[in-house]
Amino acid sequence: MADSTSHDSVMNRWLLKRLHNKIGAPNVRVAVGDGAPFPADARDAVATVRIDGWRTLASLALNPEIGFGEGYRDGRIEVEGDLQQLLDAVLEAMPERTEESWHARLFSRWLDWLQANTPRGSARNIHHHYDLGSDFYKLWLDSKLVYTCAYFPEPGATLEQAQAAKMDYVCRKIRLQAGERVVEAGCGWGALALHMAGHYGARVRAFNISHEQILVARDRAKREGLEKLVEFVEDDYRNITGQYDAFVSVGMLEHLGFENYETLGDVIHRTIGDSGRGLLHFIGRNQPHAFSPWIRKRIFPGAFAPSLAQSLAVLEPWNFSVLDVENLRLHYARTLEVWLERFERAWDSVVRMFGAEFARAWRLYLAGSIAAFRAGNLQLFQIVFAGAQSRQIPWTRADIYSAEPDAERKLWMRAIS
Amino acid sequence: MADSTSHDSVMNRWLLKRLHNKIGAPNVRVAVGDGAPFPADARDAVATVRIDGWRTLASLALNPEIGFGEGYRDGRIEVEGDLQQLLDAVLEAMPERTEESWHARLFSRWLDWLQANTPRGSARNIHHHYDLGSDFYKLWLDSKLVYTCAYFPEPGATLEQAQAAKMDYVCRKIRLQAGERVVEAGCGWGALALHMAGHYGARVRAFNISHEQILVARDRAKREGLEKLVEFVEDDYRNITGQYDAFVSVGMLEHLGFENYETLGDVIHRTIGDSGRGLLHFIGRNQPHAFSPWIRKRIFPGAFAPSLAQSLAVLEPWNFSVLDVENLRLHYARTLEVWLERFERAWDSVVRMFGAEFARAWRLYLAGSIAAFRAGNLQLFQIVFAGAQSRQIPWTRADIYSAEPDAERKLWMRAIS
């Protein structure tokens, strides 16, 4: 290992101690080269982080998250023991409001500018992640390629069952009826749009700026004989046109940036007016915070997870009524656990496709996300809302949990007047 | 009627037309004295508002809400036809963002100052409404005197059933367990605190600054043999002390004023820390707005209904996770309908107790609230939240709607680790 000559220096020990304290003194050990781990007395530590030398150590001290992400990605940092337990321990211990260094703040601002979600910027950001090719995602997502938080009615459900249950849950929450018109903003590989058409008889227009995903989605619609009910449009959400009964967006708000919430609100109001209804499903936080800079740099350029109050900047200006909010963060942790298991099984294929650095970065992204949803650094919100003049407000939520939805579907929508 | 000489004047006609337009041109007619109603061609109007003379008409033009409230209260305004239909029609038609006159704005500011919820101000404000005497509220509330939105599992449930269901719903939503410590802020006549102790075996400390209500609540605890489990404390929520597993507040946030949300958040965090959980139940709005000035003047001094985003100013600074939000506004409309029916049946008793002006004011308050919840001017939010370190996050909401909660109660709380 490089720089191992300096691993026992006073400077290294001082930096290791500082770093360990900065991340909340979790029950993990840190070491430089083959030097002695710090803290020396942490015998039951869940893992040891081994850093190749003082340069990497200095980058960690300056910006722990970026330093760790970059170092782990290219192998300058190795984890002895369980990576997941390490990340869980650090996220449990690390104070949410860790004071950011000037370097971290500057880097975050620079990312804001570099990855701004202008129409062109969004296209670039989305291309970076979603156009890696369906073959890659097929290695570790479910068979329908649903790349958002699933809903496990029982913790033991399979991922396939849980993704189908999630799509049904969304349809039930908006009390979707046959023949209704739905617009979907950010449709991935089209699974939800096809579910709405195939299982509920809805007519769906689904928007996405990922070229790869749209091609797959159109092909599916053809194969499933749903081309007449579902139209996949390769375009930005800002360009959505038409009138609809309902608006849904599952896993897109994260890619908008707060500065575009007002625009999204405009789009929603333009398409469903004061009488429609809708659902937003997105990664959020307990309080306003910047998104992880390393995830933005390597995984999701332009990403932002709002607090619940921030997310309401989409809905309140248009007088929409929030009917229902649910936090499904434990379900995202479980979803990610299954993804990571499958990802690890497909490790060699991933390395062949994109190389070892990519594979290590994505392992860290998946394991880090599990830790974040477990510890509560990230939340998953589903918001159901209705226009100010909507006369289709459900009486209770009991129907969503009814065992025989079809028999009762007629009762779901209760007109007030 | 006074001033009827001028009822056909050009000025009156001009003011009537202006007023009618200002309130959104609803399908109602307005008239001065025994003059011809405006609009003349509105044959299927739901009701006619008859105004005694130009002074009252001018007050309506200056500030429609205060003008109507005060005029209806003291009989200068009479409604020919159905008051409820009139209010429904006006609230449906009236634009939410009616531009307020200088008079309305000034009046609202003056109320802000006059009714500020300082500890002394709150005591005065609460005394005004809640210390009218239990005998008055017994005339038209349910047998347990629950003076907040009920929960009707079926629209045809009785008010008694619906208030019991609401209290149970609150307990289920926070997954209350036997032996847990609960603090309640603003406990009314104590029904919820006694329900939690009597049906769930919880140990409850319940705070209220209404002297009348606390006396009744203590008496009940004694009669029900629950004094050992429930302590009723006559004190301001700001003075709550102790450590608890859960915090609940049903119908108190409306009395705080936005300037005190931070303080409430401090109190909640002080009492349940990062590991507890809680529920807030309150009247809200789709977007930020001042509370009805007439309701503040005559019925609820110091009242304020926040938007959902505003209400989160209580929770986000302390990193609480919002787990569940439900909008029960249709249930408040139904609750108020039953209250108003009973109030009308007790009319003569109310007049004997407090006089005709009081009875008319309260009729208008109840009917106006029904119209506001129906039209969506007001919402009713229940927020369930948990501390950032809480390890008792429910897996799904299905248990809340399970028919046999007791058998499943053990399954409700799912520890993550």
B303-325 pLDDT, tens digit per residue, is 899 999 999 999 999 999 999 99
Shortest CA gap A263–chain B (Å): 17
For residues B82-92, give the mean pLDDT: 94
Based on the fold, state whether residues B307 and B363 are members of the same structural domain. yes
Query: Same domain, yes or no, for A22 and A127?
Result: no
Question: pLDDT at position B44, please?
Answer: 87
The single-letter code of the amino acid at A365 is: Y
**Distance in Å, alpha carbon of A290 to nearest chain B alpha carbon:** 15
Strand partners, A288: none
pLDDT band at A110 (very low <50, low <70, confident <90, very high): confident
Q: Which residue has the higher pLDDT, B192 or A297?
A: B192
Closest-CA distance, A381 to chain B, in angstroms, reads 9
* Residue A391: strand, helix, or coil: coil
Report the pLDDT value the prediction gives residue B103, as an integer from 0 to 100.
67
Q: Which of B286, B316, B395 sits opposite A388 (nearest CB)?
A: B286
Q: Does residue B113 fall inside a structural domain?
A: no
Q: How far apart are CA A169 and CA B151, in angstroms?
A: 23
- Is the pLDDT at A404 greater than 60? The verdict is no
Q: CA-to-CA distance for B342 and B390, rounded, in angstroms?
A: 43
Are A86 and A126 in a shared domain?
Answer: no
Residue B47 Cα to chain centre, angstroms: 26
Question: How far, in Å, CA of B34 to CA of B347, rounded?
Answer: 27
- A407: pLDDT confidence band, cut at 50, 70 and 90? very low
In a domain, B143, yes or no: yes
| Better-scored residue on pLDDT, B300 or B236 | B236
Per-residue confidence (pLDDT) for residue B98, from 0 to 100: 53
* The pLDDT of residue B113: 75
CA distance B325 to B117: 26
3-state class of B25 per DSSP? coil
Of A254-268, B118-132, B209-223, B341-355, the one with minimum mean pLDDT is: B118-132
Whether the predicted pLDDT of A3 surpasses 80: no
Q: Are residues B82 and B126 in the same domain?
A: no
Predicted confidence (pLDDT) per residue in A319-372, tens digit: 999 999 999 999 999 999 999 999 999 999 999 999 999 999 999 999 999 999
Q: Are B388 and A398 inside 8 Å of each other by CB?
A: no
Q: Do B327 and A322 touch (CB under 8 A)?
A: yes
Nearest C-alpha neighbor of A308 from the set A325, A292, A324, A328: A325
pLDDT band at B364 (very low <50, low <70, confident <90, very high): very high
Are residues A237 and A175 both part of a single domain? yes
pLDDT at residue B372, rounded to an integer: 94
- pLDDT for position A415: 31
**What's the confidence (pLDDT) of residue B391?**
83
User: Distance between CA B235 and CA B119 in Å, rounded?
Assistant: 10
pLDDT value at residue A109: 73
> Is A100 within a domain?
no
Residues B276 and B375 in one domain: yes
pLDDT at B143: 94
The CATH number linked to A283 is 3.40.50.150
For residue A332, which residues of chain B lie inside 8 Å, CB to CB?
Answer: none
Same domain, A145 and A50: no
Mean pLDDT throughout A279-298?
A: 91
Calpha distance A280→A381 (Å, rounded):
8
CA distance B368 to B86: 10
Closest approach of chain A CAs to the CA of B319, in angstroms?
5
pLDDT above 50: residue A268 = yes
- Stated as kind and residue range, the H or E segment containing B154 is none
Least confident piece of the model among B193-197, B230-234, B402-406: B402-406
B18, B156: one domain: no
CA distance B417 to B410: 16
Six-digit token string for B229: 């489990």
Residues of B in Cβ contact (< 8 Å) with A379:
321-322
pLDDT category at B49 given cuts 50, 70, 90 is very high
Tell me the three state secondary structure of residue A289: coil
Query: How confident is the model over B78-87, as a mean pLDDT?
Result: 95
Q: Is residue B114 in some structural domain? A: no
**The domain that contains B51 carries what CATH number?**
3.30.1050
pLDDT of residue B99: 57
Q: Is pLDDT above 50 for B412?
A: no
Assess if residue A298 is contained within a domain.
Answer: yes
Mean local confidence (pLDDT), B229-245: 97
What average pLDDT score do residues B379-398 get?
Answer: 95
Contacts of A373 in chain B (CB under 8 A): none
Q: Which of A41-45, A151-155, B16-20 reaches the highest mean pLDDT?
A: A151-155
pLDDT band at A2 (very low <50, low <70, confident <90, very high): very low
Order of strands, sheet of B47-51, starting from the edge strand that comes earlier in the sequence:
B29-32, B47-51, B77-81
> A226 in a domain, yes or no?
yes
Cβ–Cβ of A321/B286 closer than 8 Å? yes
B contacts of A152 (beta carbons < 8 Å):
395
Read off the pLDDT of each residue in A226-236 and give the average, rounded to a whole number: 97
Residue type, A167: M
Q: How far apart are the first and last CA of chain A?
A: 75
pLDDT at B414: 31
Confidence class for position A282, pLDDT limits 50, 70, 90: very high
**Does B109 fall in a domain?**
no
pLDDT digits (tens, 9 = 90+) for B164-184: 999 999 999 999 999 999 999
Backbone φ and ψ for A48, nearest 5 degrees, come out as -120, 130
Give Cβ neighbours of residue A235 (< 8 Å, ≥ 6 apart).
A207, A209
Angle at B16 between CA B12 and CA B21, to 5 degrees: 150
Q: Is residue B264 part of a domain?
A: yes
Number of domains within chain B:
2
Q: Are residues B142 and B10 in the same domain?
A: no
Domain that holds residue A164: 119-416
Q: B22: number of CA atoms within 13 Å, CB side?
A: 16
Residues 6 or more apart in contact with residue B400 via CB below 8 angstroms: B169, B172, B173
Give contacts of A 75-114 with B, CB under 8 A: 96
C-alpha separations of A410 from A178, A262, A406 in Å: 11, 35, 8
pLDDT digits (tens, 9 = 90+) for A82-97: 999 999 999 988 766 5
When comparing pLDDT for B104 and A255, which is higher? Answer: A255
Beta strand spans in B181-320 (E): 181-185, 203-208, 230-234, 246-250, 277-284
Of A6-10, A154-158, B65-69, B341-345, minimum mean pLDDT range: A6-10
CB contact under 8 A, B308 and A322: yes
- Read off the pLDDT of each residue in A294-318 and give the average, rounded to a whole number: 93
Query: Considering only CB atoms, which chain A residues are within 8 Å of B287?
Result: 316-317, 319
Mean pLDDT (whole number) for A247-263 = 95
Same domain? B278 vs B338: yes
A165 and A248 part of one domain? yes
- pLDDT tens column, A182-211: 999 999 999 999 999 999 999 999 999 999
Q: Is B235 in the same domain as B293? A: yes
Nearest chain B residue to A375 by CA distance is B389
pLDDT at B406: 45
Provide the pLDDT for residue B415. Answer: 31
* A139 confidence band (pLDDT: 50, 70, 90): very high
Residue A155 touches partner B, C-beta closer than 8 Å: yes
CA–CA dist A403, B363 (Å, integer): 43
The C-alpha of B133 sits at a distance from chain A's nearest C-alpha, in angstroms, of 33
Identify the band that residue A101 occupies on the pLDDT scale cut at 50, 70 and 90: low
Across chain B, what does the average pLDDT equal? 90
Contact flag A321-B327 (C-beta cutoff 8 Å) = yes
CB of A277 less than 8 A from some CB of B = no
- Min distance A137 CA to chain B CA atoms (Å): 27
Percent of chain A scored above 70 by pLDDT? 92
